[in-house]
Amino acid sequence: MRGLLFVGVLVLAGCTAGSDEESSDEPTATAPSASESATGRPGRLVCGWSAEPAEGLPLPNDFVKARICEVSSSLAWRPPQEDLTDGVAGLVETINGLEPVPDDGHYCTAQGGHGYTILLATADGDVTSVSGDTGGCGDVEVGGTSYDGAEVLLEDFIARIEARREGREPPRRLANAPIDCNADEPLGPAPSLTGSLADGVRAVSCWHPDAPSAPLWRSAEVPRRQLGVLLEDLARNTVDQEHFKDPACGGQFEDYYNQMLLVQTRWGDVLRVGGVCEEYLVEEGSFWHPGARARRILAALRR
């Protein structure tokens, strides 16, 4: 799972099944017609549709598809656009292996986290939901009982999506993800937990001077050829580093600026690379120090 850079908000989402067997990998924002949903076949699961919460554990092992949806989270994030169709039995095994929270409670923090609902569909089209939140107490809620392990379950789902993508081609008609630098101001749109920058196909540069007079991000689409140069440079000049050092900003406070790249992958993930001046945080423990050509491209995107 990718490390997250910034923060975000909490509501509950659900899904149900349509039919569309051949194109079930492709994301959709529209519900199928009544004739499609009445077929009893598990098509695409769509976040926002209603689903029956699971009544308790253990869950039966007759689910054939799963999808994860963001719910009200203190750390905003973007779920993958496709259903999980491989390893669903293993996912259910992970859920059934969760331990109930002891009667005397367990350790909780005020730390933010990722809220989510997992939709599980049977071959007959019935959809069940299980919800968790990695923030606070880190619990998964099933049938009125709290179980420890929200982070374990989220990581398990994300790992299974990544494994499913190996050796597969992404959806052919994948729509461009909305990328608005100020969508979740002041930190920009929520990033994905899936995806690799090496798969980047589109990007937007967002920047603003480090000054109260410029609270909004200024955006510019990154030309495709320049994106290739930036991603190659990023792969070459990313180093292990614990935290920001002393970015080269010209020596004066008024010279400081913030710039981030929002990169959409061929799978529809949106990844964020954000930094101050010429030092960019890629993920926790990894920083990009752009080379000369990349710095010129980044500078031009700030004009």
Contact 95, 141 (CB under 8 A): no
Q: How far apart are CA 135 and CA 265, in angstroms?
A: 27
Query: Rounded distance, CA 8 to CA 112, Å?
Result: 9
DSSP code, position 150: H
Q: What is the pLDDT of residue 273?
A: 96
Spatial CB neighbours of 249, under 8 Å, sequence gap ≥ 6: 255, 256, 257, 276, 277, 278
- C-alpha 303/C-alpha 299 separation (Å) is 7
- Encoding tokens for residue 14? 């659900």
Task: Provide the pLDDT for residue 9.
Answer: 29
In this prediction, residue 201 carries a pLDDT of: 94
Query: What would the two tokens of residue 198 be?
Result: 């090496």
Q: Would you say the pTM of this structure is higher than 0.75?
A: yes
Q: Which residue in 228, 208, 203 sits closest to 218, CA to CA?
A: 208
Do residues 43 and 78 lie in contact, with contact meaning Cβ atoms separated by under 8 Å? no
pLDDT, position 161: 97
**Sequence-ordered strand ranges (E) for the chain:** 52-53, 63-70, 99-100, 115-122, 127-133, 139-142, 145-148, 200-209, 218-221, 238-240, 257-265, 270-276, 279-283, 286-288
How buried is 208 (Cβ within 10 angstroms: 0-12 exposed, 13-18 middle, 19+ buried)? buried
Q: What is the pLDDT of residue 50?
A: 81
Please report the pLDDT score of residue 2 as a whole number: 55
Ranges of residues in the chain with a pLDDT under 50 are 3-42
